Structures are given as C-alpha cells and as structure tokens.
Amino acid sequence: MSEIEVFHKQLDEATAFIRSQTDFKPTIGIILGTGLGSLVDGIEMVATVDYDKIPHFPVSTVESHAGRLLLGHLRGKAVICMQGRFHYYEGYSFQQIAFPVRVLKALGMETLIVSNAAGGLNPNFKPGDIMLIKDHINFFPGNPLIGANDNQWGDRFPDMYEVYNRHYQSLAKEVALEQKLRLQEGVYLGLTGPCLETAAEYRMFRGFGADAVGMSTVPEVLAAHHQHNKILAFSIITDMGLPDAMHPCSLEDVIGTASRTEPLLRDLIAGCVEKM
C-alpha cells in the first residue's frame, strides 16, 4: 500500500468507529488548549468518544489534558471538541498531531476554532490577556504536509493567504466589543518546547515579529488550512517573555492564569459560534 492508501485506511477506520458511536454531523471543530477544558460547559452533549477507543488516534500524555471527543450543540451549532490535544514535545510526529484534524474534517468540519496558552512577547500584553491570532510563524522543525500529498484533500503547495479567516476575525472583535472584553491581536510563533525560552530567544522571536510564543496550534492549523477549513484561533497569554524582565515561570503559573481567563475565552468563543 502507498503512504496515502495507508493513511486513508487509518482515517476511514477512525471515522467509521466514531460514526458507529454517533451519527451526529458537526460542522465546527474546537481544539481546547491548556486549562481551557471547561469551555465545554455550554455544550449540550450528544455523544463523547474517548481517544483511546478510536483506532489510530494518538493518546494524550499531558496530565492537564483529558482525551476525548465531545459532540453536541453550542449555541445551536453542531460542534465537535477535542478535549485534549497532541504536542510535538510529547514525541508525536507532525502527521500524528494532524491526524485528529483530518478525522474532524472527514466527519464534516468546515470551521476550526483553536485555543492555546502562550507566552506574551508584545510588551503591551499582560498575563490573562486573550490574543486573536492574525497570523503565525512556523518555528517547528517540520510540517504535517511533508510527504505524499493527497490532491483531494488540498494543494501540494498551499498558499498561506488568509490562513486565519478575516471574516471570523472581525466577528471575534465584534463579540469582544459586545462583551466589553479587551481583545489583543497578533502573530503566534509555534515551536517545539518543552523548555520555555531563554531571554535571548524571547528577544529574537520578538525581533522576528511575533507577539506570542507557544508549543502547539501551528501543526493543526497547517493541516486544517490544507483541507480548506476556515480557521479562528486565540491565545491566552499566561506569562510574559520579556527579555529584560525575566522571572521564574512554573507550569502552575501557566495553568492558573489559563484557568482564570478561561471563562472569558469561553464566552468569546460561544459568542462567535452563535454568529457563525
């Protein structure tokens, strides 16, 4: 079997298993990042499927991430949420990280909403801010689109025009205004982790034009963009990477700030979904 045939077989088996559990047809996919799990509170659940039951699905190793798909209605829209995501630092390949996105697409997804925790580089930001991602820098040592290309999924050389949907960006700003939420915006730089950055690296990334830095999102977004999904993405700024004002940063700090900010992001995303 060719690389693409193997991939299709795995995808078909994963999709068939989920379909055997529910015939629910989601159109909006949501990837819940660090500390953002309770975004699901507003969902009228139709079905849940544990990752470890789905053939070929990677299994999350990070304790702060549950591992299941949640299918249901959020503000009247049919959504599928990934509660728990996969990071390159856990040892997954970029293809493995992208696999769930391909599965979501096969189930009917047209729009992908992504959230993450990130370190702020823009000195106008502060911990607890929410940043609308307008663009990204792929600083990972790879790309899930490397390898044989399935032309039915997307182009061999996808252009990177409007990866983050402009209409949805306007929608997010509108909703933020209604909710009296200060919404920052900027460029997300994705890299491997698991180390946070040195002062020299924060300085360099700021010089590159990044406003925030984190360890996820870019691989999933590349796969979702390849398959022509509309993408809306947010970072919770959990800590600041200011090279001249460095201080210790623990996982507890990151998760604590993400949890405190989570209700704001939850309402923002729910408000956006309602208007989609």
The one-letter code for the residue type at 12 is D
Contact partners, residue 157, CB within 8 Å, separation at least 6: none
| CA–CA dist 265, 222 (Å, integer) | 23
Select the residue interacting with ligand HPA from 79, 215, 268, 273 (CB under 6 A). 215
Task: Build a one-symbol-per-residue string for 69-108: x at contacts with ligand HPA by CB under 6 A, - elsewhere.
Answer: ----------------------------------------
Residue 218 has which token pair?
């870019």
The residue range among 69-77, 100-108, 112-120, 260-268 that interacts with ligand HPA, by the rule CB under 6 A, is 112-120
Select the residue interacting with ligand HPA from 154, 214, 219, 271 (CB under 6 A). 214
The residue to which tokens 């989601």 are assigned: 26
The single-letter DSSP state of residue 27 is S
Residue 19 has which token pair?
């379909």
- Of the pair 14, 117, the CB lying nearest ligand HPA is at 117
Candidates 30, 49, 54, 57; CA nearest to 41 is 30
Backbone angles phi, psi at 154, to 5 degrees: 180, 175
Which residue is nearest to ligand HPA, using beta carbons?
119
- Minimum gap (Å) between residue 169 Cβ and ligand HPA: 22
- Subset of 116-155 contacting ligand HPA (CB under 6 A): 117-119
- Of the pair 32, 270, the CB lying nearest ligand HPA is at 32
Indicate the burial class of 252 (C-beta count within 10 angstroms; 0-12, 13-18, 19 or more). Answer: exposed
Dihedral sign, Cα of residue 114, residue 120, residue 122, residue 128: positive
- Of the pair 71, 185, the CB lying nearest ligand HPA is at 185
196 binds ligand HPA (CB under 6 A): yes
Candidates 101, 109, 80, 96; CA nearest to 21 is 80
The residue range among 67-75, 83-91, 180-188, 237-245 that interacts with ligand HPA, by the rule CB under 6 A, is 237-245
Select the residue interacting with ligand HPA from 213, 221, 265, 269 (CB under 6 A). 213
Select the residue interacting with ligand HPA from 239, 262, 266, 271 (CB under 6 A). 239
254 binds ligand HPA (CB under 6 A): yes
Residue 44 is inside which H or E element, if any? Answer: strand 44-50
- Of the pair 33, 100, the CB lying nearest ligand HPA is at 33
Select the residue interacting with ligand HPA from 29, 37, 100, 241 (CB under 6 A). 241
- Of the pair 76, 207, the CB lying nearest ligand HPA is at 207
Long-range CB pairs of 155-161 (<8 Å, 24+ gap) are 155/226, 158/225, 158/226, 160/225
Residue 234 is inside which H or E element, if any? Answer: strand 230-240
The residue range among 82-90, 115-123, 179-187, 264-272 that interacts with ligand HPA, by the rule CB under 6 A, is 115-123
262 binds ligand HPA (CB under 6 A): no
The residue to which tokens 């309770």 are assigned: 38
Binding site for ligand HPA (CB under 6 A): 117-119, 193, 196-197, 213-215, 238-239, 241, 254
